[in-house]
Amino acid sequence: MTVSNIQVSETPLVLYTLRRADDALVLGHRLSEWCGHAPILEEDMALANMGLDLLGQARELYSYAARVEGRDNDEDKLAYLRDVRQYRNLLLLEQPNGDFARTMVRQLFYSAFADLYWRAMMKSSDATLAAIAAKSEKESAYHLRHSSEWIIRLGDGTEESHARSQAAIDHLWAFTGEMFAVDEPERSLIDKGIVIDPAGLRPLWLKTISGVIAEATLTLPTNDWMQQGGRSGRHSEHLGHLLSELQYMQRSFPGLTW
């Protein structure tokens, strides 16, 4: 049996909201993959908890995107019935977990951004986005603290943990530029004061992660060539595999409910 993909009218606000919803869902799903596999029990709980926060954020954002779109889509259809090319998340967040260092570097890069981003978005003229931001910034701050402490411990730990952390930073660095990129639809929302311009957050983001990475005795790459594409649906090969697991039930048993 096949289930066809839904169509979404991506007005700038719908597209914007879907992008953030996809970010939260995809990273939340990645973190959930650690459940039962983390190096220690406490960390298993931490990763699952952070994944749960992100899943909660994703649900609010998908529901809002569906309301703004005003057709018959809802949070579940948006999550389960769009194909890879319809997903709008950052490439950084779909990258496989790899080893624990790579998961934590990904978390540090993103939560340092999300912490600043959601705090700034609390001033959005859109009341729903401002409310979601106010909820998310508290959670992001917690994720940032957790991943920062791990990076310091890993980088300033053994030769092995140091080498793995440095390799993770070098590998993921090229995916960080996309967080600050702005395209035409998003520019129109920025001009109206509905959303903030992420480019302005980069100096502070760099300062946050530089502090952590220096304390961890690690170094940031100087290479500034950046990978992009996720925001417009051009993904790495990894997202399709992630979605095949995430969407399996609804694709195999359409309309299944608990």
Partner 1 sequence: MVAVQDRPELQQRAWDAVASVVDPEIPVLTIADLGVLRHVAVAGDRVEVAITPTYSGCPAMNMIALEIELALAREGFPNARVRTVLSPAWTTDWMSEEGRRKLKDYGIAPPEPKSSRRALFGVQQVKCPQCGSADTELLSEFGSTSCKALWRCKSCREPFDYFKCH
The residue ranges that bind partner 1 (CB under 8 A) are 28, 42, 45-46, 48-57, 59-60, 127-128, 130-132, 134-136, 138-139, 141-142, 145-146
In angstroms, the CA 213 to CA 208 distance is 9
Q: Tell me how far, at minimum, the Cβ of 6 lies from partner 1, in Å.
A: 24
Q: Tell me how far, at minimum, the Cβ of 224 lies from partner 1, in Å.
A: 29
In angstroms, the CA 137 to CA 111 distance is 9
In angstroms, the CA 193 to CA 215 distance is 37
- DSSP states along 16-42: HHHHHHHHHHHHHHHHHTTTTTSSSHH
Nearer to partner 1, 38 or 174 (CB): 38
Q: Tell me how far, at minimum, the Cβ of 110 lies from partner 1, in Å.
A: 16
Q: Tell me how far, at minimum, the Cβ of 33 lies from partner 1, in Å.
A: 16
Nearer to partner 1, 50 or 242 (CB): 50
Nearer to partner 1, 79 or 84 (CB): 79
In angstroms, the CA 58 to CA 63 distance is 8
Nearer to partner 1, 128 or 227 (CB): 128
Position 6, amino acid: I
